[in-house]
Structure 1
């Protein structure tokens, strides 16, 4: 009986520790590492302006649901997080990139190309103590001065199982963002190259 109580005590303690180490309800949206100063655009590289994506999610106040049915929330602007990451990734690929809050602001700089879009989904779920899943979906448009060149919807999602930690949700969201932005950048760069 003494061993049973001891085992039960350890089990309860382990459960409490796992719960305490899990992600908090407030999630920071981590950005990819800043641009390396060594990455400079070519002098004749196309000028691209990325406009802050519109947030078209049904519920813009939460990111998703925890296993206890409470909400994951963030103090960060989710659509801006996605569009800034795209601008940085385009710059890493040698383009001259500017970032604008509105289409009018972007056009005032007379860029060669304009990227606009909308964030349709951004969610984080915690199905169990040891599992997290995320998803992002954007609809974006690349246009030059003559009109639309590329229009596409892209999705990215991930799941991870492991010991809970405070940074697990933030890191998983960052990986999901990278998995969304890299193919988007590749397609934009290819479309621009095809126009040369």
Structure 2
């Protein structure tokens, strides 16, 4: 009797593991993660003051993309909020004094030297197979200041990652694509400050 229940338990464990590896038990919700790293230094009192306004989500769909089986990836949080905070973190890591505002009016109340607003135009996550994901991101930023005309630029990136099957691989692929796009945006914004 003990051997039978032990064999059944072993079979059940192997069956669940096989389902998990095949993607049948995979979650369709993706955590939106981002780590710009710690700021290299505390911003100096003379560092530029930048307010990042909550980005507009200009994508045609709330979905992040598709699994190989055709089901949609969903985000665990606001995509616009994710991009906004991640850009603020990137600018802070480059020495700027950064805050985030929910609207242009709120940003202007603080009378910062610079305001950055933008749009999330594309966030696409695709499961190529169990161990491979591809992500593409495109966003537009606009830099406003009283001393210069508005500078609007578009940044995009594409990344593919292969690794151990699971949600972490999807999250890292998406985060890596965002990091590439935002590093370009942050370098461009900091280089445009006068």
Answer whether TM exceeds 0.5 for this pair: yes
Cα drift, residue 125 of structure 1: 0.7
Structure 2 unaligned runs (5+)? 1-13
Work out whether residues 36 and 90 of structure 2, in 8 Å CA contact, stay in contact via their aligned partners in 1: no
Q: Secondary structure at the match of 2:123?
A: strand
The residue aligned with 2:131 is 130
The residue aligned with 1:51 is 53
- How far apart, in 1, do the equivalents of 2:143 and 2:192 lie? 8
* Equivalent in 36, 42, 58 of residue 44 of structure 2: 42
- How far apart, in 2, do the equivalents of 1:118 and 1:108 lie? 21
Structure 1 unaligned runs (5+)? 1-11
Work out whether residues 18 and 163 of structure 1, in 8 Å CA contact, stay in contact via their aligned partners in 2: no
- How far apart, in 1, do the equivalents of 2:56 and 2:127 lie? 26
- How far apart, in 1, do the equivalents of 2:151 and 2:111 lie? 19
Cα deviation 1:121-155 (Å, max 9, x = unaligned):
01111122222111110011111114534211110
Cα drift, residue 16 of structure 1: 3.3
Cα gap change, 1:127 to 1:117, in 2 (>3 Å): same
Per the normalisation by structure 1, the TM-score is 0.84
Work out whether residues 22 and 166 of structure 1, in 8 Å CA contact, stay in contact via their aligned partners in 2: no
Count of aligned positions: 181
Per the normalisation by structure 2, the TM-score is 0.85
The residue aligned with 1:99 is 100
Work out whether residues 31 and 85 of structure 1, in 8 Å CA contact, stay in contact via their aligned partners in 2: yes
Cα gap change, 1:91 to 1:26, in 2 (>3 Å): same
Cα drift, residue 15 of structure 1: 5.2
**RMSD over aligned Cα atoms:** 2.2
